[in-house]
Amino acid sequence: MSITVEQVNLVEAVGYQAGAVVSKTLVDKKVGTITLFAFDKGQGLSEHTAPYDAVVQVIDGEALVTISGSDYQVRTGELIVMPANHPHSLRAETPFKMMLVMIRA
């Protein structure tokens, strides 16, 4: 039986772009997604709500994550879980890379 294996360097898989947010989807399945993001300093995601828990793994830099009105500073090597159905947003305090994992359960 043959299998397909993809090995990804999370630091190099998505690059920074001046004044922009860059994303690359690694997995898009019925059960969930894994997406890499690179944010230039000051860029972010506006407040929204997702019907699933979302995990942000910080690959590089620092960001301010706001969940239900509370602010959380996240840095390289940390992760934060954003609970389903709670409004959240994100703003890059420095150039910032993250891996977003959403599990649809």
Tell me: the pLDDT tens digits for 23-67?
999 999 999 999 999 999 999 999 999 999 999 999 999 999 999
Number of domains into which the chain is organized: 1
In a domain, 16, yes or no: no
Q: Which of 6, 82, 4, 1 is nearest to 45 (CA)?
A: 82
In a domain, 6, yes or no: no
In a domain, 8, yes or no: no
The domain spanning residue 37 has which CATH number? 2.60.120.10
When pLDDT is cut at 50, 70 and 90, the band that residue 5 belongs to is: confident
Question: Residue 95: which domain range?
Answer: 21-103
Query: What's the predicted TM-score (pTM) here?
Result: 0.91
In a domain, 62, yes or no: yes
Burial of 56 (0-12, 13-18, 19+ CB in 10 A): buried
